[in-house]
Structure 1
């Protein structure tokens, strides 16, 4: 679909680029000639991903370990990146989410999601955007959101609220920063099974089973479909496209709402099992981070 080397000369930052959807997009950009920068909380994971991507595709991938909830750390990272040349594009992919009955949420649980998804996405966008404006450089931003921004997300309220904020940021800054040649768009993908998503959103189920049963196309999404859409949005082929959130979910949100409404049928025992599975996974992740 895309010409070889179409991204030659681009420098693209992908947050959460060491795993899952972020790594998939970063790898496609690299294969098309971009210089890629990835960041995540676990630098060792990003370092490993960077080495594997370069071994497979050549090119240059730089990894940073940063917690995007820390505005000062984000600004320091972006400042260091720009010392090597301005970014041309940003992909806001880093996120956090887990299923829970809202009445069971603690303030800490809410903040764990909101501080990454809403605050962190703004911190990175702000740090990059203000440097583009100061230097007179154009740029393009993609943010990964969810279809729930249009109709709500029961049982994932912190994510639904925070992703809605990112959706609104996309529209607002597309208007405010358009005069500087800066475009902002968002992608709202349906379920594309990844390890992190499955552990916290469907911890007691077979990955993709619910989507395959309910989706009008009878399947989950594929990584290459997201890669292709993200590549198109960052390409030079749509310079007047800005302020849009594009759903890519096989029409599932149109047909079913695309959210977790059906979890209203879960019993207390099922919620306890899910909560225990998520807690165990969080403990394993903390042990891996040391």
Structure 2
């Protein structure tokens, strides 16, 4: 049986790396990509320690369409057709909107929304050329894509765009490729680095923790388990959906 291959952007750390480890443990060929070669090699040392599947890394910037196309070509050269993609690469920072520079806005939009489009589009072209059906795309979003949130205007706008792209392609590419396109909305997740960028004060971290009905932050491994389940044949009828894995955090916005 031919192994399936998955491409995970932003796969060198946090949730991306956890997903890469999970898929490789399950016997998939895994390709991780990112901008930082040193981080990619550190992640590869962990992936290579798993005695299942195969793994490779590709250094590129999701903002560069041609770079995304070349990254996919390198993966295809190594493993053949690519069956799944996780658009995990992201960028964010907290800033009041009036203090936001045009460059700050453009940077986040370019990574999150345009980067997701770039990788998704080159994969769609690949599926078309290979006449491959039944592929899977998982996009990483956030609850402020539909709820909004202060200080994260570019990320909220970009994630809203990604969520709508997810649903649009679930219909369009469902018909065209028999493909499934879904999204995950993680809540506060430990050991990802993202929380440290958004929240620096210990009291604020504890306030967020209290606002999670289950009383804790999630783990990258829990996100990885969900991503694997969503990509598996068990979920071959799941399409155009967004699953929140956040302990109920998005439902509870009132501080105690």
Look up the match of 2:229.
Answer: 232
User: In the alignment, which residue of structure 1 is the partner of 2:218?
Assistant: 221
**Aligned match of 2:70:** 76
User: How many Å separate the matches in 2 of 1:34 and 1:130?
Assistant: 22
* Aligned equivalent of 2:199, options 193, 197, 202: 202
Q: Which residue of 1 aligns with 2:141?
A: 145
Report how many residues are paired.
Answer: 252
In the alignment, which of 150, 163, 171 is matched to residue 167 of structure 1?
163
Q: CA deviation at 1:206?
A: 6.5
Which moved further from structure 2: 159-168 or 133-142? 133-142
Does the aligned pair in 1 maintain the 2:170–2:239 contact within 8 Å?
Answer: yes
1:39 and 1:63 in contact (8 A); partners too: yes
- In the alignment, is the contact (CA less than 8 A) between 1:193 and 1:208 conserved in 2? no
Unmatched tracts of structure 1, length 5 or more: 1-6, 263-290
State the alpha-carbon separation in 2 of the partners of residues 203 and 71 from structure 1: 34
Residue number among 90, 98, 102 corresponding to 2:93 in the alignment: 98
Q: Which runs of 4+ in 1 moved over 3 A?
A: 56-59, 204-208
- Could you tell me how far apart the structure 1 residues matched to 2:86 and 2:194 are? 18
Q: Distance in 2 between matches of 1:112 and 1:142?
A: 22
Partner of 1:124: 119
Partner of 1:19: 13
Give the TM-score of the pair, scaled to structure 1: 0.83
Does residue 106 of structure 2 align to residue 111 of structure 1? yes
- Residues 114 and 162 in structure 1, CA contact (< 8 A), matched pair in contact too: yes
Cα distance in 2, alignment partners of residues 57 and 208 from structure 1: 37
Q: Is 2:42 the partner of 1:48? A: yes
Give the greater-gyration-radius structure (CA).
1
- Does the 8 A contact of 2:24 with 2:50 survive in 1? no
1:193-246 Cα shifts (integer Å, max 9, x gaps)? 234203311133378423221111111112232121111100001111110111
Structure 2, unaligned runs of 5 or more: none
Which residue, out of 28, 34, 37, partners 1:34? 28
What is the TM-score when the length of structure 2 is the normalising length? Answer: 0.93
Please report how far the alpha carbon of residue 160 of structure 1 lies from its aligned counterpart in structure 2 after TM superposition: 0.3
1:136 corresponding residue in structure 2: 131
C-alpha offsets along residues 50-107 of structure 1, whole Å, 9 cap, x if unaligned?
Answer: 1222124454210111011111111111122222301111001000011111111111
Q: Corresponding residue for 2:172? A: 176
> RMSD of the alignment, in Å?
1.8
In 2: Cα distance, 1:57 partner to 1:108 partner: 44
Q: Which has the higher contact order (CA 8 A, sep 6+)?
A: 2
Q: Aligned partners of 1:211, 1:8: CA distance in 2, in Å? A: 44
Instruction: Name the structure 2 match of 1:275.
Output: none
